[in-house]
Structure 1
Amino acid sequence: MSDAAPPHPPNQFALLTQRRFAPFFWTQFLGAGNDNLFKFAFTVLVTYQLQVAWLPPALAGLAIGALFILPFLLFSATSGQLADKFDKTRVIRFVKTLEIAIMLLAGFGFWTAHVPTLLACVFLMGLHSTLFGPVKFSYLPQHLGERELTGGNGMVEMGTFVAILLGQVAGGLLVAVPDVGRHYVAFACLGVALLGRATAQLVPASPPTDPALVINWNPVSETWRNLKLAHGNLVVFRSLLGISWMWFFGAVFLSMFPAFAKEVLGGDEQVASLLLVVFSVGIGIGSLLCEMLSRRHVEIGLVPFGAIGMSVFAIDLYFATRGHAPGSGIAGLGEFVRQPGHWRVMADLALLALFAGLYSVPMYALIQLRSPASHRARIIAANNILNALFMIVSAVMAGALLKAGLTIPQIFLVTGLLNAVVAAYIFLLVPEYLLRFIALIATRLVYRFRVHGDEHIPTTGAAVLVCNHVSFVDPILLMAASPRPIRFIMDHRIFATPVLGWLFRLAKAIPIAPQKDDPATYERAFAEARKVLDDGELLCIFPEGAITRDGALQPFKGGVMKILETHPVPVVPLALHDLWGSFFSRASGAAMTQPFRRGLWSRVGLSAAAPLAAVEVTPERLRERVAAMLAA
């Protein structure tokens, strides 16, 4: 994080007033806008105005999209190295200067309606975005803190899709102007490129993270090396796959909007632009909601929620257009919005996009947070490589399905069903997403959960958390409060509890039994706990040894001291409030026997105190800290 950065802005919009973020935001905003102004104007040109025998309208969007992302596949590995080796601000300024040159060539292509030149510029703009991509996502964690990452990514994601919206709307409207539309597009593209270069000049310095890196110019070997580097952290790598799937999913819709508007809905260029407006606004709203829903942490529990919404509304989009027959002519915007059935189509697109924003922003933030700074840009480059592969496969699949006779709504249906299958597979591969989703549901719907002092829960490095034990869902609430995974040491008997036992096994909780009852399980638990700390992770112990039966804080046992003997890490005291008497506590006897004992949305809380150094820790002192927080 930059030394000049204020500790925490009041919200994500306040970042736009700060130099560490604002010039970068507007630079990437203008770049994304120009990409899409150019691409969409070109797509509309060959869909509605030019008759190009070798580029039919139904395939034009797919072909242009595939050509744009080809450089991501070829050159991402090189661009990741450049972003790690050199000052990111220098790279940004070079890329924006390159954009001006590309737009001069594109201006010639539009002026003369020369399709091969414009296709060459599509490839070059893809190269421009390839060079900018690793800088874009590795810049943020260099200048923002953990509590700002979700908001910063949300702003960038929102800005990107608003830029896509404005660029595509502007491209569609300008190119549709009779006789001179192509000329207007040429001037607009050059003007936006010049403005982007001006804002790039204000981006603050971003020192290289690996200046000694020797560039490997072989894209094949470096691509393979980057993928292996990303695979070194399985959570990060599988998150890259999850983001790449989102781009596969989104590319199907974005590439088909012009043909969908014309051939399925019977609309003109303005209708195609309206669909893009609706989609982009949905993405923007979803991206901005992430900070509020995540309470300013990196909350990956939103990812399964987003995946569910993406499938539901993609499938409903098929039903909304099933049996829809366009009229004899091409409808304008006014006629299109007067038909009630079209509002369902727009609602499906908006909600599908909103959930895609909830899906993608936490994944990007997680990758930035969990990737080592020295290799972050190269891991982002690996992400771009995978994105390109998935988007190319997306274009090939959509084209093959069209040639096989499927309609565009049927392709949307297939994509929605595939999303459900892929999402389920990813969440089983990376249980952390599913666990955080369950924690999110518990703390938003079952309880009204408030956390105080969560800044004391470490975002990096090994530490031991100690907490009072009030109910069977204590670990779920602690998972929701922590910005990163926690490994729990838990009474072995809890693993026999239906559903919760499966959940805790999924969370890789460590079973422990009393030494006199099962010495092997006891020793195995401490060996596993030491390994957790060796790996730099968080370990949580409930030192009372069991869930309270009377609501009172019990004496703390000495297990934490046994761990600190070999691993003198900081110890963070935690206190859960107001859980006694809930469905999952043992109030009135056995737990989980009286549904809705306190109703839904009952208030519960967690307090965290400042960490204690290992030399300061005793069971009695830890109990005093926890008792003091409970009494506050």
Structure 2
Amino acid sequence: MSQPNQFSLLSQRRFAPFFWTQFFGAFNDNLFKTALLVMLTFEALSWTSVSPATLNIVLPALFILPFVVFSATAGQIADKVEKSRLARAVKWFEVAIMLVAGIGWMSHSLWILVVALVGMGIHSTLFGPVKYAYLPQNLKPEELVGGNGVIEMGTFVGILLGEVVGALLVSQKPYGIELVAASTLLVAVIGLVASYRIPLSPAPAPSLKISRNPFAESLRNLSFSRQNRTVFLSMLGNSWFWFYGALMLSQFPVYAKDYLHGDHSVFVLLLTVFSLGIGTGSLLCERLSGGKVEIGLVPFGSIGLSVFGIDLYLASLGYTNTAAVDIAGVLAQPGIWRILADIVMIGVFGGFFIVPLFALIQTRCDPAHVSRTIAGMNIMNALFMVASALMAMVLLKMGATIPQMFLATAILNALVAVYIFSLVPEFLMRFLAWLLIHTIHRVKIVDVDRIPDEGAAVLVCNHVSYVDAIVIGAASPRPIRFVMDHNIFKMPVLGWIFRTAKAIPIAPAKEDPWLMEKAYIDIAQALHEGDLVCIFPEGKLTRDGEMNEFRGGIVKIIERSKVPVIPMALRGLWGSLLTRDPGNLFERSFTRGPRSRLALAVGAPVAPQQATPEYLHQQVKDLRGEWK
């Protein structure tokens, strides 16, 4: 199915005003924060006696401290209060903070600026739950990945522009401080104006009583989130990304100044390439996922974060310049292009990692609890970012260089990824499925929206190859419990994949009557729990490309569970390497060529009383047509 362009959302009132409100908030946060950090990095002696390296760790930690303390309360407020009204209140608060910051800039008072920095942290804490709870409330399910991608792109472009503008303005002599003070106030006002265009978004829990104890509410939020294992581990994965990103970004000013020996413009260059990478990766998620929530991209992103993080360390070893340089000078240095390429790719793979996780959390958590779930995630994000600051301080005390800190983070990322994916094998299985259908085959999906977003159903499909289940699983927006021949479970690689996906093994009655009966019990239990179950009613792979007759197992399933049956047909797999085509293996490979085309067509749901083997066979045959 053709998907609408994700950028078309920017022309619609249900999305655009919210996007610009979020964009200018991210822009202003980072304009102010970066101007403060750059000023203290390059002119520390005129403001404080604390070392720049320590300030670059402590000040970001102070910014995120409100996320730890107030996120739970912010989540409650976002679930209780209509969202456009709340957004406007937050933007008025931002204007007040920037007035306070202006006093700090003009009076040359670091501590007033620190108070404003904490205030901006509170501002972001209050807006965070609104940001991600608003999208599933106002976008269609098929728009959610694209909408998240645009929001993430906008957020990181806002971060990029804020950091660039902040670094540039504060370095303008003699009026840099005055320019920063005026600009932050102006941007806050623009964000306030945008917030008045956000359409009404009713509160999901208007009668909710807000707890007066934010710490107890934080514990309740996290406890509630833990009840959904996949959502909670996705929140952990999201928080880990912020650990990784916070450590990288917090060291960029010192890395640019002390390691690359650059001026302000070199720091801006690092921010630019990293943020462009994040924006590119976030937007590519829409194309690579086919418009659905594709968590198979998460392991792909994690692999890239480690590979290019390690290579950033190796590339840094090859940088030998010790003379002070500006942006033009650093670009002429040997080895710098490899460093920049690594930073860009870390950003791209970071986008692959974080966007599907956001969409998964939004679609699988309790709709009445979205804001509080996001608030719980923000608490975890803040704790992980504080932990990254503490880790950076420890490594600096131990004498580690910044490239060594990048290496340690990349290795730790690999260990964290292995741990999370071992707890939720669905991530890894979807990654393998995504890899299969994006490298070996080009898959066209027809009417996949006929698979219900929730509730039980039985999917029936023709059986062409050993990878039928992987292709179907990759195309489905929901996890599927496959019923499969028990012999496949004994295969070294495919068997492991299907076991981790909680497939249900079945055997013919003459081989193992106990296993057959257990399979029907497991199917009934899965349907009772609201899962999708897929069976191949032929009971065996085709040997000639034609469909075999459907056996009576489907009748036995429907007798126990009165659920709709959805016919599906695979087209174009016959003759591939993993079919039983008797033709020459090498001849088949060359005939089909790389990236061969195939399709999965989904039919209209069939009522249980109509779901006879003969009727379903005809439905699947009609869907398949002449293309085997």
Instruction: Give the TM-score normalised by structure 1.
Output: 0.96
Q: Is 1:622 paired with 2:622?
A: no
* Aligned counterparts, 1:258-337, within 5 A: 258-322=253-317, 324-328=319-323, 330-337=324-331
**Alignment partners' CA distance in 1, 2:122 and 2:13:** 27
* Aligned counterparts, 1:362-381, within 5 A: 362-381=356-375
* Aligned counterparts, 1:168-187, within 5 A: 168-187=163-182
**Alignment partners' CA distance in 1, 2:2 and 2:550:** 36
**Alignment partners' CA distance in 2, 1:629 and 1:249:** 47
Q: Is 1:75 paired with 2:36?
A: no
Residue in structure 2 matched with residue 63 of structure 1 by the alignment:
58
Unaligned residue ranges in structure 2 (runs of 5+): none
Backbone CA RMSD of aligned residues:
1.7
Amino acid at match of 2:464: V
Deviation of 1:595 (Å): 6.7
Residue in structure 2 matched with residue 26 of structure 1 by the alignment:
20
Amino acid at match of 1:318: Y
Deviation of 1:514 (Å): 1.7
Deviation of 1:324 (Å): 3.4
Deviation of 1:342 (Å): 1.5
Which SS does the other structure have where 1:576 is aligned? Answer: strand
Amino acid at match of 2:17: P
Deviation of 1:429 (Å): 1.2
**Alignment partners' CA distance in 2, 1:71 and 1:381:** 12
Q: Is 1:156 paired with 2:151?
A: yes
Deviation of 1:371 (Å): 1.1
Residue in structure 1 matched with residue 249 of structure 2 by the alignment:
254
Deviation of 1:54 (Å): 4.7
Encode CA deviations 1:554-576: one digit per residue, 9 max, x unaligned.
Answer: 11112222222232122110001
* Aligned counterparts, 1:56-135, within 5 A: 56-135=51-130
Deviation of 1:306 (Å): 0.9
Asked if 2 retains the 8 angstrom alpha-carbon contact of 1:158 and 1:285, the reply is: yes
Residue in structure 1 matched with residue 427 of structure 2 by the alignment:
433
Q: 1:221 aligns with which of 200, 213, 216?
A: 216
Residue in structure 1 matched with residue 460 of structure 2 by the alignment:
466
Residue in structure 1 matched with residue 237 of structure 2 by the alignment:
242
Deviation of 1:375 (Å): 0.6
Asked if 1 retains the 8 angstrom alpha-carbon contact of 2:13 and 2:199, the reply is: yes
Deviation of 1:121 (Å): 1.2
Which SS does the other structure have where 1:215 is aligned? Answer: coil
**Alignment partners' CA distance in 1, 2:210 and 2:454:** 30
**Alignment partners' CA distance in 2, 1:117 and 1:298:** 44
Encode CA deviations 1:196-219: one digit per residue, 9 max, x unaligned.
Answer: 000000000100111221211211
Amino acid at match of 1:466: V
Asked if 1 retains the 8 angstrom alpha-carbon contact of 2:455 and 2:531, the reply is: yes
**Alignment partners' CA distance in 2, 1:537 and 1:262:** 55
Deviation of 1:156 (Å): 0.3
**Alignment partners' CA distance in 2, 1:195 and 1:566:** 60
**Alignment partners' CA distance in 2, 1:88 and 1:60:** 35
Amino acid at match of 2:109: H
Q: 1:510 aligns with which of 494, 500, 504?
A: 504
Deviation of 1:8 (Å): 9.1
- Could you tell me the percent identity over the aligned residues? 53
Asked if 2 retains the 8 angstrom alpha-carbon contact of 1:140 and 1:149, the reply is: yes
Q: 1:618 to 1:536 in 2, by over 3 A?
A: same
Which SS does the other structure have where 1:554 is aligned? Answer: coil
Aligned residues: 625
Q: 1:50 aligns with which of 44, 51, 64?
A: 44
Residue in structure 2 matched with residue 451 of structure 1 by the alignment:
445
**Alignment partners' CA distance in 1, 2:320 and 2:401:** 12
Which SS does the other structure have where 1:611 is aligned? Answer: coil
Which deviates more from structure 2 when the two are superposed, residues 336-345 or residues 622-631?
Answer: 336-345
Which deviates more from structure 2 when the two are superposed, residues 556-565 or residues 397-406?
Answer: 556-565
Which SS does the other structure have where 2:458 is aligned? Answer: strand
Encode CA deviations 1:280-308: one digit per residue, 9 max, x unaligned.
Answer: 11111111111011111111111111111
Which SS does the other structure have where 1:267 is aligned? Answer: coil
**Alignment partners' CA distance in 1, 2:603 and 2:168:** 58
Amino acid at match of 1:437: F
Amino acid at match of 2:190: L
Asked if 2 retains the 8 angstrom alpha-carbon contact of 1:8 and 1:148, the reply is: no
Deviation of 1:550 (Å): 2.2
Asked if 1 retains the 8 angstrom alpha-carbon contact of 2:3 and 2:291, the reply is: no
**Alignment partners' CA distance in 2, 1:27 and 1:226:** 26
Deviation of 1:257 (Å): 0.8
Deviation of 1:427 (Å): 1.3
Which SS does the other structure have where 2:158 is aligned? Answer: helix
Q: 2:186 aligns with which of 182, 191, 198?
A: 191
Residue in structure 2 matched with residue 344 of structure 1 by the alignment:
338
Residue in structure 1 matched with residue 479 of structure 2 by the alignment:
485
Asked if 2 retains the 8 angstrom alpha-carbon contact of 1:447 and 1:604, the reply is: yes
Which deviates more from structure 2 when the two are superposed, residues 84-93 or residues 316-325?
Answer: 316-325
Encode CA deviations 1:397-452: one digit per residue, 9 max, x unaligned.
Answer: 01110111000011001111111111122111111111111111110111111111
Which SS does the other structure have where 2:335 is aligned? Answer: helix
Deviation of 1:190 (Å): 0.4
**Alignment partners' CA distance in 2, 1:264 and 1:50:** 18
Asked if 2 retains the 8 angstrom alpha-carbon contact of 1:263 and 1:326, the reply is: no
Amino acid at match of 1:407: T
Deviation of 1:325 (Å): 4.4
Asked if 2 retains the 8 angstrom alpha-carbon contact of 1:161 and 1:284, the reply is: yes
Which deviates more from structure 2 when the two are superposed, residues 131-140 or residues 530-539?
Answer: 530-539
Amino acid at match of 2:356: P
**Alignment partners' CA distance in 2, 1:500 and 1:12:** 35
Residue in structure 2 matched with residue 4 of structure 1 by the alignment:
none
Instruction: Give the TM-score normalised by structure 2.
Output: 0.97
Deviation of 1:53 (Å): 4.7
Residue in structure 2 matched with residue 147 of structure 1 by the alignment:
142
**Alignment partners' CA distance in 2, 1:620 and 1:24:** 52
Which SS does the other structure have where 2:460 is aligned? Answer: strand
Deviation of 1:602 (Å): 1.4
Asked if 1 retains the 8 angstrom alpha-carbon contact of 2:321 and 2:333, the reply is: no
Deviation of 1:598 (Å): 3.6
Asked if 1 retains the 8 angstrom alpha-carbon contact of 2:462 and 2:569, the reply is: yes
Unaligned residue ranges in structure 1 (runs of 5+): 1-6
Encode CA deviations 1:371-416: one digit per residue, 9 max, x unaligned.
Answer: 1210111111111011011110001001110111000011001111
Residue in structure 1 matched with residue 353 of structure 2 by the alignment:
359
Residue in structure 1 matched with residue 525 of structure 2 by the alignment:
531
Which SS does the other structure have where 2:601 is aligned? Answer: strand
Asked if 1 retains the 8 angstrom alpha-carbon contact of 2:576 and 2:588, the reply is: no
Q: 1:237 to 1:572 in 2, by over 3 A?
A: same
**Alignment partners' CA distance in 2, 1:18 and 1:9:** 16
Amino acid at match of 2:569: A
Which consecutive segments of 4 or more residues in structure 1 shift more than 3 A? 323-326, 589-599
Asked if 2 retains the 8 angstrom alpha-carbon contact of 1:9 and 1:15, the reply is: no
Asked if 1 retains the 8 angstrom alpha-carbon contact of 2:575 and 2:588, the reply is: no
Amino acid at match of 1:444: H
**Alignment partners' CA distance in 1, 2:90 and 2:526:** 43
Encode CA deviations 1:351-376: one digit per residue, 9 max, x unaligned.
Answer: 11011011110110111111121011
Deviation of 1:597 (Å): 7.3
**Alignment partners' CA distance in 2, 1:54 and 1:322:** 31
